[in-house]
């Protein structure tokens, strides 16, 4: 399987050369970890050869779940940020495109990691050593008032009217307390990755990804709302396409004081 995965990763690497026109992050390369049958197949980019190479195969001590698509520091690569997938990521071309989504996370982590420490929620979660908070925080997805306001926000996003969107965001945030920080963090972090993913999909003629845009809601709603809001903001302020710190500052504007 070493060579099978390597061949497909390098096929994507060739396509990646054409993505630099979408965002300069695609000029960078990140390690790829493929979890398959209780093993981790680890690959890294060789600048000398201009392609990926197999680095090592180790037991899956990270317990990667089936169909995982993620990015995180990996001990076997000296805590470097890696894109992590399973064999399902190579089922078809559309699945492979998700690897580019994970590269966005690698780029953001390496270049904007300090932004997360501006959030009180992150400090609180680290204090109690809750490392999975980004995945399992108790956001009130089923609260009727919150659901209604998310519905209104999604309708405003579809309208493309920035003023309506910002009013809907203020209304939503007025019904949240600490959850505002969780929303802002995920809409920036996951929303931006989805936003770039959809620019890649446009380039390859694939259907755009709008998963998360309908009830019942879960954390994918942040991907959809974030991506669509970022698209509107970039339309008005093109520099936000690459200036992620200013983008983060901008999405905080509608925050309501707790």
pLDDT of residue 206: 97
C-beta of residue 231 within 8 angstroms of C-beta of residue 210: no
Whole-angstrom CA distances from 158 to 1, 59, 114, 174, 178 are 43, 46, 32, 21, 27
pLDDT of residue 116: 86
- Look over the chain and give the mean of its residue pLDDT values, rounded to a whole number: 95
Q: What is the Cα–Cα distance from 125 to 180, expressed in whole angstroms?
A: 15
Q: Strand, helix or coil at 189? A: helix
Average pLDDT, integer, range 158-164: 96
pLDDT of residue 253: 86
Given a cut of 80, whether residue 178 has pLDDT beyond it is yes
Question: Which pTM does this prediction carry?
Answer: 0.95
Q: What is the Cα–Cα distance from 2 to 56, expressed in whole angstroms?
A: 9
Please report, rounded to a whole number, the percentage of residues in the chain having pLDDT higher than 70: 99
């Amino acid at each position: 399987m070493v060579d099978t995965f390597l061949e497909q990763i390098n096929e994507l690497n060739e396509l990646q050369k054409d993505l630099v026109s979408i965002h300069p992050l695609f000029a960078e390369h990140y390690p790829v970890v493929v979890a398959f049958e209780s093993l981790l197949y680890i690959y890294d980019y060789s600048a000398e050869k201009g392609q990926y190479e197999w680095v090592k195969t180790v037991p899956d001590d990270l317990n990667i779940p089936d169909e995982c698509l993620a990015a995180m520091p990996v001990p076997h690569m000296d805590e470097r940020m890696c894109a992590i997938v399973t064999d399902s990521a190579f089922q078809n071309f559309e699945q492979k495109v998700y690897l580019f989504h994970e590269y966005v996370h690698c780029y953001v982590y390496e270049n904007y990691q300090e932004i997360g420490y501006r959030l009180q929620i992150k400090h609180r979660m680290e204090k109690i050593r809750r490392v999975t908070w980004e995945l399992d925080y108790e956001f009130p997805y089923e609260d009727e008032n919150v659901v209604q306001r998310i519905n209104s926000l999604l309708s405003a996003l579809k309208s493309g009217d920035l003023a309506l969107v910002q009013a809907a965001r203020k209304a939503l945030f007025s019904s949240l307390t600490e959850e505002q920080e969780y929303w802002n963090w995920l809409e920036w972090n996951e929303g931006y990755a989805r936003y770039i993913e959809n620019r890649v999909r446009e380039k390859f003629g694939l259907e755009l990804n709008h998963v998360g845009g309908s009830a019942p809601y879960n954390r994918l709603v942040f991907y959809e709302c974030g991506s669509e809001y970022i698209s509107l903001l970039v339309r008005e302020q093109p520099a936000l396409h690459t200036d992620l710190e200013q983008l983060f500052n901008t999405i905080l504007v509608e925050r309501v004081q707790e």
